[in-house]
Structure 1
Amino acid sequence: MHRSDTARGGVSVAASRLARLALPVLLAASAAAQAQTLQVLHWWNSTSENKAISLLGERLRDDNLEWKSVLIPGGSGVGASIVLKSRVLAGQAPQVAQLNGPVTQGEWADLGLLHDLDAVAEAGKWERLLQPSLMAMVQRRGHVIAAPLGIHRINTLFYNRKLLARFNLAPPQNWAQFERVATRLQQGGVAVLAQSSEPWQIATLFETLVLAEGGAQFYGDLFVRKDARSFADPRLAQALQRLRAMKKWIAAPLQERPWTDSARQLAEGGAAMMVMGDFGKGELNAWGYALDGVFGCVAVPGTAELFLYDVDTLVMLAGDGADRRAQDKLALAVTSPAIQADYNQIKGSIPALRNPDLAKMDSWSRASWKLYARGSAVQVPSLTHRMATDELTRDAMVGAVHRFFVTDTVSVAEAQRQLALIAAATSRK
C-alpha cells in the first residue's frame, strides 16, 4: 500500500468514527428541530398553576411537543374568553385553549371551531379510562370535543389549624357551628374569613351557600334549568341573607384582591377560614404549607355529601389541519394516568379517571375523589366556574350577586327579582 493510500485509509476510518460519535447528537438536534410548538391559551398564573404547566410542558417534550403559553391573567377566565374570541375572528386562533364548561364548549363545537377528538378517545380508551360523568361532559352531538385535565371541588372550607387550636375550636360542620366559631374568633381578635370582594369570588361563596340551603335539586332548578318559580323560593332568600350576613366576619373595608392573597392571609394566620375551590390547596402546598399541618380542609357547612365541581378542560381549535396530529398527541398525553396523577397532585384537584392512583393523593383529595365517584347524585355543576350554564347567564348572575353583596340598599327581594329576570332573558336567547 502506498503511503498516500494509508493516509487516505486513516482519514476514512477517523471520519467514520467521528460520524458514529456525532450521530446521536445529530439525531437529537433533528428531533428538536422537528418538535412542534402548540400555542395554548389559558388563565393559569399562580405559583401552583405554573408548576402544573411546567410539568405538562416537560412531559409533552417527551412526545416532541412544545407547550407555548398564551397567558391571559385574571384568575377567573373572563378575559381569556374575550381574547380567544377576538383571536379566532382575526384568524389568529391558538392551536389549544382552556375552555371550561360543557355549554360553552358545545357552542364552539356547533360553530365548527373545534376539532373532534373521537380517534384520540378511542385510542386512549376514554370510555373505560374516564369517569362516566366526565366522558359525557366532553361530548357534543356524539363527538368528543375536549380533553379533561382534572376536577376541582369548589365547596371547600379551609381553616388555619393553629388559630382554631388556640381557642380549642373544631372546624364547623353546619352554619350554627360556624356562627359560634366565628363569634369566638372575633371576640379573640382574630379575623374570621379571608375573602376578596372580587365578583367571581363573592359568587363562589354565594353558590356554596345556595347549595347548603337548598341542596342539589334546588341548586339545579336555579342555575341549570332556570326554573322561574325557584327564584322566588324562600331558600334563595335565606342564602342571600346569609351572604350579606357574612360581611360581618370579613375585615373592613372590603377589598378586591386576587384569590392568592386570601390564601396567603389564611396561611400566615391573618384569618382563620376561607371558602375557595381546592385549587387553594395546590397553592398552599406550592408555598410550602402542608395540609393537616398549617391548614386543614372540610366541606362548606351543610354540603359535606355534595361535590360542587369545576372541570379544567382543553379544546383543540380547528385550523387548516397542519396541527391536527400534534393536537391529538397533546390530548392523548394529558389524559394518561401518569400525567393525570402528577398534574392533579400539584394543582390541588382530583384526576378525571375511574381508577386513579389513590396513593398519590392527600387526605382531602382522596375523600373528594371517593365522593365524586359516587356519581351524579352528589355531583353539582358550579355556576361561577362555568359548569352549570352558558357564559352570558353566568356573567350576568355573577354581576347581580356582586351588586347585592357590595350595595346594602339592594334588598333580598330585589336580588331575587334580578336573578329571575336574567334567567328568563337568557332562557329565551
Structure 2
Amino acid sequence: MNIKHFSSTAALLGMLVASTSAYAQTVDVLQYWTSASESKAMNAIADAYKARGGKWIDSPAADFDSTVAAATSRIAGGEPPSAVLMTPSAAMRDLAKAGQLRNFDDLAAAGGWQKVMPPLVWDKLSVDGHLVALPVGIHADNWIWYSKPLFAKLGIGEPKDLDEMFAAADKLKAAGYTGFAVGGEPWQEVSILTDMIIALGGPEYWNQLFIKRDPEAMKSPILPKAFDLFRKVSTYADPASPGRAWNDTTNMVITGKAGMQFMGDWARGEFLAAGQVAEKDFGCFLAPSDKPAYAVIVDIFAFPVNKEEDRVKGQTMLADTIMDPAVEAKIAAVKGSVPSRSDVDTSKLDACAAKGAKLLANPATAVSGAYDALTGDLNGQMTDLATQFWTDPSMTSDSAVESLTSLLKSK
C-alpha cells in the first residue's frame, strides 16, 4: 500500500481499522443447499450472521461430492474456505485426522454444548476426542410422506405396518395414481432398501448389522425379505422416475400425482415451502415397524484450519451463530429438521417434526443412518448394489444378500 495515495495518516489508519474489522467478520462458505426449503434454511443462518455485523460470501455447489471436492482442493492450494457444509462422513473424519479441521473444544466447554446435544450426534462430530464440526439440524432418513387429500379420497388410513403401506400403494395404483414417488438416483434408491431393513429389524438389528457387522445378523432372514420388499417398491414407480431429483419427486406428492414418497425429513421443508400444513395437506410416518427407529443424519458445518487471525474470528462468530438456539429453531421451521439442541423451544414444531423429536429423545430408538454408519467406500458399494438390484429384475434377493454380506465383512 502506498501512503502517498492518502491525504493523511489519520485517514489511512481509519480505513485500515474499518477494513480489518470487516474482514474479521467475513466468512466464505461452501454449501450445496439449493432446493427451495434448503435455500431458506441457509438464508436463516446467513441472515443471522449478517445481523451480527458479519459479511457472508456464499459459494453454492451442485451436491455434497462437489462441495467436498472444492473444499479439499482449496485446502490443498493453501486457500481454505471458512466453512464447509457436509455430513459427519468419512470425508470429515479424514480431514480431521489430517489436522485440517479446527476443533471447538474451547467454545463447547464455555457454552455447555455437550449437555444439550444428543449423545449420538456429539459422538458423530467428535474425532479423537475433539469436537471438529457443528450441527445445523438433525434429520431421519427413514420417513414416508403421503398426500392427505389422496388418502382421504380413497379412504386410506395412515399405515401402521408394512402390509398396510403396500395395501395403500395398491389402492393408489388401481385409482390411477403413482403409489410410491421415487426419484431414480442411486442415493434415493438405496435409502428405500435401508428403510426396509430398519422397518423389519428395528434399532437393535440395525446396529448389529451396520455398526457391529455381526456375521450372525448377516445370516438373518430379514435381509432377503428386505430385498424382496425393495423390489416390490420398484413396481409402483412411474416411467419418469430415472434421474429425477428428490425435490421434484416430493412435488409429485405435493401436487397429488403420487400417494407416498420415501425420503428424509428435508422433504418436509418442500411441503412447507409450498404452503402446505402437516396433518392437513400431508402426513408422515417413519418406516412402519413394531420396533420404531430414528435413523439419524446430521447436516454439519466443518471449519478448515485458517492461520489468519481475522479469518479465525469470522469462524468463531459463525460458530456462535450456528449454535444459537433461536437460529436452530428458524432452521428447523423451514427445512424440516429437528433442532440439534435439546434446549430449543419445540412447542411450535408441527406434527411431523414433533414425532421426530419424540423419537430422537429416546436413545434406544436413535441409530446412525447407513450413510454415516459405513465408510465412504463401503457406502458407495452398497449404493451400487442397490441400484443394480433395482434396475436388474433377474438379480435374486439371495444373490444380493450374498453381495451385501461380502462388502460388510470387508475391512
Same fold (TM over 0.5): yes
Partner SS state of residue 150, structure 1: strand
**Aligned twin of 2:330:** 342
- Kindly report which structure 2 residues correspond to 1:63-212, keeping only aligned pairs within 5 A, or say none: 63-74=52-63, 77-101=64-88, 103-212=90-199
> What value does the CA root-mean-square deviation take over the aligned residues?
2.2
The CA distance in 2 between the partners of 1:304 and 1:336, in whole Å, is: 34
Partner SS state of residue 290, structure 1: coil
| CA displacement at 1:368 relative to structure 2 | 1.1
Answer whether contact 2:269 2:335 (CA < 8 A) is retained.
yes
The CA distance in 2 between the partners of 1:91 and 1:419, in whole Å, is: 40
The CA distance in 2 between the partners of 1:257 and 1:180, in whole Å, is: 25
**Aligned twin of 1:14:** none
Which residue of 377, 383, 395 maps to 1:398?
383
The CA distance in 1 between the partners of 2:325 and 2:126, in whole Å, is: 20
| CA displacement at 1:182 relative to structure 2 | 1.7
**Larger displacement relative to structure 2 (61-70 or 270-279):** 61-70
Q: Which is higher, the Rg of structure 1 or of structure 2?
A: 1
1:282 aligns with 2:269: yes
The CA distance in 2 between the partners of 1:411 and 1:225, in whole Å, is: 26
Q: Which runs of 5+ in 2 are unaligned?
A: 1-14
Answer whether contact 1:124 1:332 (CA < 8 A) is retained.
no
Answer whether contact 2:147 2:281 (CA < 8 A) is retained.
yes
**What do residues 179-206 of structure 1 show as CA deviations (whole Å, max 9, x unaligned)?**
2222222222221111111000001111
| CA displacement at 1:158 relative to structure 2 | 0.7
> Percent identity of the aligned residues?
25
**Aligned twin of 1:49:** 38
Amino acid corresponding to residue 355 of structure 1 in structure 2 = D
**What do residues 224-273 of structure 1 show as CA deviations (whole Å, max 9, x unaligned)?**
22334433432111101110011221123542110011111111011011
Partner SS state of residue 249, structure 1: coil
1:39 aligns with 2:28: yes
The CA distance in 1 between the partners of 2:349 and 2:327, in whole Å, is: 13
Partner SS state of residue 321, structure 2: helix
**Larger displacement relative to structure 2 (160-169 or 127-136):** 127-136
Q: Report the CA distance shift for 1:318/1:235 in structure 2 as closer, same or farther (over 3 A).
A: same
The CA distance in 2 between the partners of 1:269 and 1:247, in whole Å, is: 19
The CA distance in 2 between the partners of 1:232 and 1:81, in whole Å, is: 36
The CA distance in 2 between the partners of 1:139 and 1:115, in whole Å, is: 12
The CA distance in 2 between the partners of 1:362 and 1:380, in whole Å, is: 23
Q: Report the CA distance shift for 1:236/1:42 in structure 2 as closer, same or farther (over 3 A).
A: same
Q: Report the CA distance shift for 1:34/1:154 in structure 2 as closer, same or farther (over 3 A).
A: same
The CA distance in 2 between the partners of 1:35 and 1:280, in whole Å, is: 36
**Aligned twin of 1:423:** 408
Which residue of 240, 254, 268 maps to 2:255?
268
The CA distance in 1 between the partners of 2:113 and 2:74, in whole Å, is: 31
Answer whether contact 2:199 2:291 (CA < 8 A) is retained.
no
The CA distance in 2 between the partners of 1:171 and 1:350, in whole Å, is: 22
**Larger displacement relative to structure 2 (195-204 or 327-336):** 327-336
Give aligned pairs, total.
Answer: 396
| CA displacement at 1:405 relative to structure 2 | 0.8
TM-score, length basis structure 1: 0.87
Partner SS state of residue 257, structure 1: coil
The CA distance in 1 between the partners of 2:287 and 2:385, in whole Å, is: 22
Q: Which runs of 5+ in 1 are unaligned?
A: 1-25
Amino acid corresponding to residue 120 of structure 1 in structure 2 = L
Answer whether contact 1:35 1:66 (CA < 8 A) is retained.
no
The CA distance in 1 between the partners of 2:302 and 2:336, in whole Å, is: 21
**Aligned twin of 2:6:** none
The CA distance in 2 between the partners of 1:339 and 1:304, in whole Å, is: 33
The CA distance in 2 between the partners of 1:303 and 1:52, in whole Å, is: 33
Amino acid corresponding to residue 42 of structure 1 in structure 2 = Q
| CA displacement at 1:308 relative to structure 2 | 1.0
Amino acid corresponding to residue 397 of structure 1 in structure 2 = M
| CA displacement at 1:30 relative to structure 2 | 6.9
Answer whether contact 1:337 1:356 (CA < 8 A) is retained.
yes
Partner SS state of residue 27, structure 2: strand
The CA distance in 2 between the partners of 1:328 and 1:227, in whole Å, is: 42
The CA distance in 1 between the partners of 2:290 and 2:273, in whole Å, is: 27
Answer whether contact 1:155 1:303 (CA < 8 A) is retained.
no
Answer whether contact 1:38 1:67 (CA < 8 A) is retained.
yes
Partner SS state of residue 272, structure 1: strand
The CA distance in 2 between the partners of 1:289 and 1:119, in whole Å, is: 42
Which residue of 342, 350, 354 maps to 1:354?
342
Partner SS state of residue 261, structure 1: helix
Partner SS state of residue 67, structure 2: helix
**Larger displacement relative to structure 2 (56-65 or 94-103):** 94-103
Partner SS state of residue 301, structure 2: strand
**Aligned twin of 1:19:** none
**Aligned twin of 1:217:** 204
The CA distance in 2 between the partners of 1:36 and 1:162, in whole Å, is: 48
- Kindly report which structure 2 residues correspond to 1:229-248, keeping only aligned pairs within 5 A, or say none: 229-248=216-235
